[in-house]
Structures are given as C-alpha cells and as structure tokens.
Amino acid sequence: MVRNMTGYRTLARNHDFTVLWIGETVSALGSSMSMFVFPLLAYGLTHSALAAAVVEAAHLLGMVGFLLPGGVLADRHDRRRIMRTASVAGAVLYGSLVAAGILGHLTISHLVVVAFLTGICAGVFGPAERSSVRTVVPTEHLSTALSQNQARQHVAELLGGPLGGLLYGVTRWLPFAADAISFAFSWVMLGRIHADLSPAPHEGARPSPGEDIAEGVRFIAGRPFFRTLLAWSAMANLTINAVFFVAIMRLVKAGFHPAEIGFVSTAAGIGGILGAIAAPTIIDRLATGRLTVLIAWSFVPLLVPLVFWNNPVAVGAALFAGLLLNPAGNAGISAYSMALTPDPLVGRVTSATQFLSMSVMPLAPVVGGLLLSGLGGPTAVAALAILTAAVALLPTLARSVRAVPHPRVWQAELAGQPEPVAA
C-alpha cells in the first residue's frame, strides 16, 4: 500500500496532471448526466422508443466516427488547443439546448444534432487527452494516472444518472445547463496546464491524413503485442457487455422492482471505483503480463453462479467483483502499451485501438438478445461464460502479452537503464 499511496501523492503534486484530471472529472460528470437525460427527453418529445435510440446512436456515431481523425489531429497540432476547442464547442452546443428549453422550442431534430456534434467533440478530445497524459506524467506513474482516470469515469457513471434525473425532474433543460458549465470549467482548467502539449516535430513534407491514419494502423498490425491486445479488447468488450445485457434483461423478465435492478448498476459502479483506487497496488505486485491474463479469466468463475441464481444480489455481487479487478488489468497493460508507442504516434495508435475495439460494442445487445431468446436465461449465461473463456485464451496463448514483465522491469528496459533492485 505504501507504493500505492506514494504514487497518488506524487501525482497530486503533478500540477499539470491534477488540473487536467479535475477539469475532466467535472466534465465527465456533466456528460454522464446528459447521456442519461438524452433518451428521456427524446421519448418525452416524441413518445417513441425509436427516437430515444436514435439520439443515443447519434452520439455514439459521432464519437466513434471521429476517433481516427482525432488521432491525426492529436499527432499534428497543439493538444491543449484541440481540447479547449472541443470543450468550448461542447459548452456552446449544450447551451443551445438550454436556450431552446427556456424559450420552449426544444425539438427532436435539435437534440439529434447536438448529440451527434458532441459525439464528434468527444472523439476529437479523447486522443488529445491521452496524448497529453503521456506528456505530463512520467512513465513510472502512467499506470497510477490511468487508474485515476478510470476512477473518474466510474464516479461519473455512478453519480451521473441520479443527478441527471434529479435535475431533469426540476426542469428538463437543467441537466444540459450543468453540462454546459462543466465544459466551460474544463476549458478554464485546460488553460492552466503549463507543459508544452505540442506534438513531436515532423521532418519533411506532411503525409495526407489518410496516410497518417494508415501509419498508426500499420504500427499496430506489425507488432504481435498490439495485434493481440486489440483482438482481445474488442472481443472482451463484446462478451462482457453482452453479459451485462443478459444479466439485466433476466432480472427485468423475472419481474424484479426497478429499484432492485438499479442496485446492480450501483454495485458495479462501486466495484469499479474501489478497483481503480486499488489498481496501482495490484499493478505493483504482479508482472504486467500475468496480471493481464488473470484479469482476462476473472469474469469466467463469476458467471458460473449466475447460471443457477437469477436475483439482484447474485448479479450485483458478480459484477462488483468483476469490476473490482478490471481497472488494474486495464491500467497496467494500457500503461505499458502507451509507453511502448513512439510519441509521434501516440494519438493515432490510441485512437485506432479505441476505434477498432469500440466498433463491436453495438453488437453486444444483439448477441445477448439472440442468446437469451434462443437458449433461455441459464443456458445463455453458460454460453457467455464459455465465450468469455475462449476470449481469455487470446492473451493467455500470446507470449507477446503473457511475457510482459513487472512494471519496474519494463520501465527500466524502455528507459535503457539497468533493471532496478527490488527493495
């Protein structure tokens, strides 16, 4: 625990990371509120479930569609300027919904446009932020920084729904006012970063954006470690999100009260937060490759009880335990892959990885729904457990992932220094 607390204290003294983290924590909470309210408002305006789905899909389409261009921008232009531009755009877009709400002119078309454009802002902002973290945080503290970022996201997801619902109950445009303020706060905090967030200088003529994207994809495709990591993350996203869908839908079909079902999401959120806090300690105790393999298998035994028991306590306990372990695996291997990526390629490699791994996520409810309707609840969970085990074989059988050493070792190797002696 000493190393864990030392890492947190060191990051707390890192001015640039601290202001970036605080600004984006507030912004993530605001965005979580808006994402919760979007379908509610869309349904309230149209009384159509399809319209509610279209609004959510518009945001996802904008974000995923602009991840690759966002990576190119992050590797070509000043990252602080990119992030501040995205933040002020978000403030203006959500402010337009506030103005329309006050005037009584909120429409579904306005909502869809704002959802799509704020998705673009998120797609452009993400690669610039990840590249900035690489710049302002030393390699030895990357895993702790990424753990804190995961804690930020879990806190936003845990609090965003209740706060968004509370503000929506007062007046339906109020959550968007809070989100506009959160984007403005992000813009202010980003202006307080002292570090130079300009990309690495490029010698010679600039290639086209398409060639830039292709260079990032070639970097991933040409290295077994990155290929395996990409395939595993994509398939894990598909299977685990299908598990979430099936677990919740089984509770709905069984007739449990919405408050009891809400307990499941709360338990998962608390598990994610506690897991993110504990992640640096876990990462420091295990070799990064072994930790990754352990996390890949962690959900398999947790699914076995759900084959036999379908109640909120069992589901909540399984998701709590799964998300308690997951942040350490994500932060550990992500820190290694980020440190392994040359600085001029960080934006494109991280955006390409996120784009490709997120592209399969819309299939998760489809896969879960087909299994649930075709096989029934217990057999569907058993099938997903088998599929999760098959996905876990990807990092287990890949020596490029399995053999990644302890963080002290790979940090010294990447720095070109002798391996430090353990205390």
Give one DSSP letter per residue of 48-117, joined into a string: -HHHHHHHHHHHHHHHHHTHHHHHHHHHHS-HHHHHHHHHHHHHHHHHHHHHHHHHT---HHHHHHHHHH
User: For residues 243 and 299, what is the distance between their CA atoms, to the nearest angstrom?
Assistant: 10
User: For residues 278 and 70, what is the distance between their CA atoms, to the nearest angstrom?
Assistant: 31
pLDDT computed for residue 136 by the predictor: 87
- Spatial CA neighbour of 34 closest among 118, 143, 137, 132: 118
Report the C-alpha dihedral over residues 363, 94, 120, 237, rounded to 10 degrees: -30
pLDDT computed for residue 221 by the predictor: 81
Over the stretch 310-321, which tens digit does the pLDDT of each residue have? 888 888 888 888
> Which residues in the chain are classed under CATH 1.20.1250.20?
1-191, 209-423
Over the stretch 381-406, which tens digit does the pLDDT of each residue have? 899 999 999 999 999 998 988 888 88
Report the C-alpha dihedral over residues 102, 105, 108, 109, rounded to 10 degrees: -120
The class that CATH gives domain 209-423 is mainly alpha
Which pair of structure tokens corresponds to residue 82? 């990119």
pLDDT computed for residue 419 by the predictor: 46
The yes/no answer on whether domain 1-191 falls in CATH 1.20.1250.20 is yes
235: CB partners within 8 A, 6+ apart: 360, 391, 394
User: For residues 19 and 403, what is the distance between their CA atoms, to the nearest angstrom?
Assistant: 35
Instruction: Return the number of other C-beta atoms located less than 10 Å from residue 114's C-beta.
Output: 25
Lowest mean pLDDT among 277-286, 333-342, 409-418: 409-418
User: For residues 256 and 254, what is the distance between their CA atoms, to the nearest angstrom?
Assistant: 6
Of 54 and 235, the one with more pLDDT: 235
CA Rg value for the chain: 21
Average pLDDT over residues 58-86: 88
- Position 171 confidence tier, pLDDT thresholds 50, 70, 90: confident
Phi then psi for residue 222, to 5 deg, are -85, 0
Look at the pTM and tell me if it is higher than 0.85: no
User: For residues 42 and 56, what is the distance between their CA atoms, to the nearest angstrom?
Assistant: 10
- Position 85 confidence tier, pLDDT thresholds 50, 70, 90: very high
pLDDT computed for residue 183 by the predictor: 95
Over the stretch 288-302, which tens digit does the pLDDT of each residue have? 889 899 989 988 888
pLDDT computed for residue 114 by the predictor: 94
61 pLDDT higher than 90: no
pLDDT computed for residue 2 by the predictor: 44
Cα torsion 263, 264, 268, 269: sign: negative
pLDDT computed for residue 338 by the predictor: 83
User: For residues 243 and 386, what is the distance between their CA atoms, to the nearest angstrom?
Assistant: 12
Eight-class DSSP state of 139: G
4 pLDDT higher than 90: no
pLDDT computed for residue 283 by the predictor: 85
pLDDT computed for residue 396 by the predictor: 93
Q: Give the length of the chain.
A: 423
203 pLDDT higher than 90: no
Which pair of structure tokens corresponds to residue 303? 């699914």
Q: Cα–Cα distances in Å, from 113 out to 54, 205, 347?
A: 11, 36, 26
420 pLDDT higher than 70: no
